[in-house]
Structure 1
Amino acid sequence: MSFVTEQVGPSKFGKILSFATGASVIPPVGFSPQHSIDFLHGHSVNPGRHLPMANTCINCLKLPLLDTYEDFRESMDFALGNTQGFGRA
């Protein structure tokens, strides 16, 4: 079973939020700048390995476009499972 799908509810979303924004919870006044999602067309970190990226300064999650949902899920699982985010465990 994968890293993301093993978790449920707020725990899973908290990891995605932290990955994309650097924040572990939504601030009471919201995000500034407003969060966004960009799609990576033809970008990869390594040939054959497409990973999501984030720019926490502008609260932007950058997602790869992959052939199948399974490929996307594996990519997200790998990124979330191997990112400590600002030195947090």
Structure 2
Amino acid sequence: MATYPATTVVMHHHQPNIHMFRELPVRMRCQYCSAEITTSTTYETGTLTWVIAGILLLFGLWLGCCLIPFCVDGCKDVVHRCPSCQQVVGKFNRM
């Protein structure tokens, strides 16, 4: 009776890098240009900005005070871009 050597198969599953995008820049590999980067962040008006402005408007702050959330970065969404290729690589929605 012939014996066969045991064969071991090793499978490697490549899991994508999952990053938690928040207010601060993130070190990562860009999925578009494959460069090793630290993201650049910008702010854009999002749902939370409009909700806060609406609430201020409802409370009678209609003489321009309801526009304050549009000037405060803490009320806006954070967009993460690759500094090499300028593609959007992630976004932090506050709401």
- TM-score, normalization by structure 2: 0.23
- In proportion to residue count, which structure has more strand? 2
- In proportion to residue count, which structure has more helix? 1
- TM-score, normalization by structure 1: 0.24
